[in-house]
Amino acid sequence: MENSEAKRIDVLEHMEHLKPIFEQSYNFIVITTPELEEPGPEFIYVNSAFTKATGYSAEELKGKTPRILQGEKSDRSVLDRLKKELKEGKFFQGHTINYRKDGSEYWVEWNISPIYNKSGELSCYFCVQHDITKQMDIQKETQRLLEIEIKNRIAQEQMLIQQSKMAIMGEMIGVIAHQWQQPLSVANLLADSLIELELDDANIAKKEIDDTSHRIMEQVKFMSDTIYDFKNFFKVDRKKSPFLIVEEIEKVLKLVKPLIYKFKIDVKIEEKKRNIYALGHANEFKQVMINFISNVKDAYEERGIKDRVFKIVVDSDEKQTYIELSDKAGGIPQNLLPQKIFEAYVSTKGDKGSGIGMNITKTIIENNMNGTICVKNIGEGATFFITLPKFK
């Protein structure tokens, strides 16, 4: 205690000529003894800015440690680092919550330097402090607003995705109606023939009746599968899971088979490696593929092109998966390349298009699957390049 008091008097004598400067400072100036172990360093000097900010007078702080300013919300890890770095003779910079005399909180930033005397002995710690409460409040409010903005953007993206699904729904219902025409007709004919068999000849073989009944059930199952595929397409599942890329593409082709057949589009899939997986939402990926097929169909129809090819190439290397989708539909207008085609409400179809299909495609690929998408006009049409992280 006597040694501490002697150091305090020695420091005060040597800094006497600096006091007028410290008293004019807007920053908090604090000088303490160099003891770091319990009960801790003691105040040697505090300036007026410090006493005004904390509510403690210089007289009240005599013989006290700066630890009286610490409390429940003071960051223990910062305080531990402070002690460690000062023990190692290093300069310390950090911030945490301190407490005024009345118990109210304030954020403080410290810059603490060890001061040595002529003999090379540690004499005291010199600390410049700043009240950063306003800055931290602004940072906290900015973070809050950022989180709200992120939530709003996610909600907006989900709304656009849903709008895109609803736009597709109309076309999909038409596809289902078309898919059901043939099995309904077949089932109807088979049912008529079954009735005729039962009425015609009492000795008719049971096997023939069973075969006809089985064929009817096959048609009913096909219709049921169509509804199941359609229902799953619109099912919302936010948990990402791995899926086979080509398998999901084939499911889409099965779903839109009548549309492809009606508009005479030759879809070719080239899988350069077997069993290539992606991580994401399979239904969203199927939505991407339906967007492409719908756009290709519309482009061929609008331009009256007869040679209708849509080629899908799937490949991967050690780190990434690649999907190329190309057509011969005349390409994308140059004013929409390279990125404008992906903006919301931009369409190559004029008033006939919603302008959200490619925007949703980009959102799904880049935001939801952590991939990239770009497009170039190559040869007689457009080629889209999708890159995804490889799922192992």
* pLDDT tens for each residue of 156-186: 777 776 666 666 666 556 555 644 654 565 5
> What is the Cα–Cα distance from 343 to 363, expressed in whole angstroms?
10
* pLDDT tens for each residue of 14-30: 677 677 778 888 889 99
The residue ranges of DSSP E strands in 178-305, in sequence order, are: 241-244, 266-271, 277-280
Residue 136 · residue 107 · CB < 8 Å: yes
Residue 11 · residue 29 · CB < 8 Å: no
In angstroms and rounded to an integer, the radius of gyration of the C-alpha atoms of the chain is 38
Give residue 1's pLDDT.
Answer: 46
Is the domain spanning 2-131 CATH 3.30.450.20? The answer is: yes
Structure tokens at 309: 């090819």
Give residue 92's pLDDT.
Answer: 92
DSSP structure class, residue 390: P
* pLDDT tens for each residue of 309-335: 999 999 999 899 999 999 999 999 999
pTM over 0.85: no
* Domain 237-392 CATH (choose: 3.30.565.10, 1.10.3720.10, 3.40.50.620, 3.40.50.720): 3.30.565.10
Domain boundaries, the chain: 2-131, 144-236, 237-392
Mean pLDDT of 107-129: 88
Residue 330 · residue 323 · CB < 8 Å: no
